[in-house]
Amino acid sequence: MKEYDILVIGAGAGTKLVTPPSQIGKRVAVFERETPGGTCLNRGCIPSKMVIFPSELLRLKEESERFGIQYPSPPIYDVNSIFQRVNERVKADSDSIPIAYEKNPNIDYIPKNVWFKASKIITDGENDYTAKHILVVTGTRPNLPEIPGLKDTPFWTSREALSPDEFPKSLLIIGAGFISLELGAAYQAYGAQVTGITRGEVLRQVDFEIKEELKKHLPFPIHTGFHMEQVEFRNGEFRVSGTNKEGQTQTFVAEKLLVATGIKPNTEDLKLENTKIQCNPDGYILVDETLQTNEEGVYAFGDVIGRYFFRHSANFEGEYLFHHLYEGGEKKPIVYPPMPEAIFTHPQIASVGKTEDELIQEKIPYYKGLNPYRSSATGMARLSEVGFVKVLVSKETEEVLGAHVIGEEAANLLHQIVMGMYLKAKLDDYLGMIYIHPAISEITRNAFRKVREQKLKEIKS
């Protein structure tokens, strides 16, 4: 039996509980069955954004035509070299993690799959390990739909789409969530003919007005309400057949097929039945208000607990646990601040807090301010044709309940509101500050002015 202070299962977000505790003298063992760095570094946030940013540069040609600027010839670029550069950089960063751990005498990096042998004991089949604290940070993986024939084909998930052997001329995407929209928009900009198909709707959980705006400006065509009945791969082509929402039989054909239909937790191989640890019906680990499982001393955080699916939320949870367990801080429940999210498609989308649909359903009284990009000085300068900032303000407290942005720099534009929500700023606070003219942030100010107008109308009536 090898004994440590801390065992960390998963070297993605789990790294938050590796180096910091080691620096205060804790002995840590970290286990990883794949490449260190987790989904975010290897096959998620970082490589996808490294692929997406150059694709946005290619869109400058079509964007510039609104200003009477024309390029006499198409841009010259090698898309395969772009993906190669991304993957080489990601591999270098991932490879550097074990090297850094090897230099730290308090850290043992063990590249093996492990599972629970008993309460507070994990094993790799050869050695057993125990510790005062065990952290389960095993994340998620793509969830594959049950479509006849699919599993017999060389389909892609986001992993393969971020490191293609050769860039395809055509790409068919099953699913219409953020992965579909981000990678589909990038592939379209790089010259592939991209088509999306989904049984449901596009981004079903976002605010309804965001969905309406996105539908007008989709980066590639997406066929909703399509029931998939068969997937085949022959003669170098994928064929997906099914019934469209008009009840007609339809077949889509493409060189490559990307399946992006959600995720599932990596918990099956942990043999949690050997412990008191419980999961919900979808397999996500249940934790209490301090992120502890039903097994005392065993904690879980990140995607595997199914609360939020962002690296920034997992980082927040990891920092909470470090403070809670090792910095001598007051032992109190985790309290999440407003949790922002962004979809780096074209147009970009960012949100925080409640959607208008949720406020209506929960019967919470609110004011709404929606301001298009074009109704601002910077929107005039950019000849903006798409985008708005939408703010939802409580009628009772005049604090922001939710905010939703679609358009250029949406993720950056949202942060002012996120900070305001964190500081419990009120309507007058947003209106009382001075905004740089003519910065893009004036779009946000104008949205709050719309709220003020609505409030005054109600007072007068």
Question: Catalytic positions, please?
Answer: 437
194: which residues sit within 8 A by CB, 6+ positions away? Answer: 170, 171, 172, 173, 184, 187, 188, 219, 220, 221
Q: How far is CA 218 from CA 13, 257, 420, in A?
A: 32, 19, 31
Q: Is the dihedral of CA 162, 167, 173, 178 positive or negative?
A: positive
Determine if residue 49 is labeled as part of a ligand binding site. yes
124: which residues sit within 8 A by CB, 6+ positions away? Answer: 31, 110, 112, 113, 114
- Residue from 271, 266, 343, 318 nearest 32 by CA: 266
Determine if residue 176 is labeled as part of a ligand binding site. yes
Determine if residue 180 is labeled as part of a ligand binding site. yes
Q: Which two tokens stand for residue 377?
A: 């000085």
Q: Cβ distance 261 to 278 under 8 Å? A: no
Q: Which two tokens stand for residue 41?
A: 């570094």
Determine if residue 175 is labeled as part of a ligand binding site. yes
- Give the C-alpha separation, 342 to 345, whole Å: 9
Determine if residue 44 is labeled as part of a ligand binding site. no
Determine if residue 12 is labeled as part of a ligand binding site. no
DSSP state of 279: B
* Angle, CA of 151, 11 and 257, to the nearest 5°: 25
Q: At what angle do helices 410-422 and 442-460 cross, to 10 degrees?
A: 50
CA 177 to chain centroid, in Å, comes to 10
- Give the C-alpha separation, 193 to 48, whole Å: 19
DSSP state of 150: G
Helices and strands (H, E) in the chain, number of each type: 14, 21
Determine if residue 331 is labeled as part of a ligand binding site. no
**Is residue 153 packed enough to be buried (19+ CB in 10 Å), middle (13-18) or exposed (0-12)?**
middle
Determine if residue 364 is labeled as part of a ligand binding site. no
Tokens 């490879």 — which residue? Answer: 95
Determine if residue 262 is labeled as part of a ligand binding site. yes
Determine if residue 31 is labeled as part of a ligand binding site. no
Question: Binding site for FAD: which residues?
Answer: 49, 303
Annotated binding-site residues for NAD(+) read 175-182, 262
